[in-house]
Structure 1
């Protein structure tokens, strides 16, 4: 039984592209700020630029790790669902029923 959800893939890629674009804008703004303050030689400016540069590099590294991890998890989840479609559906229905009961109580 082969099932493919193209809308899910499109939504994932759409959100991923928007996130990439937003992070790209933040990175470009941070780099522009670093360049704009390059002439400011006060000690506070140098410390702030050093912290900003370190934070920017850490954010880029964290994003790359997050992207790699999320792709790996998505592939594992997809494989598990495809290997056990009825079990996956049963679990999803069970979780939905429990959430429905909990939300209906309030």
Structure 2
């Protein structure tokens, strides 16, 4: 979906792969699932990424199929957007516009 909107997408399937993929890159936005491998959360990975030089202000959207309001609150507390799955294109576009000023 993002590529059809003209975005360049780099993907990773685990927290370890994300760290490797992001090394040296400065993405405009990170969309990350809340539930990752090895009981690591997307919010924890986001926090680690933001410790890297040049990524302190990394814009992020946390996604999850779990509709728990606590997850939304954690994302917001971590200064990230939150979007439930399944992703709705119109809602995703609105969040992208907000975070990619």
| TM-score bucket of the superposed structures, by smaller chain | under 0.3
**TM-score, with normalisation over the residues of structure 1?**
0.25
Q: Which has the higher strand share?
A: 2
TM-score, scaled relative to structure 2: 0.26
Larger Rg: 1
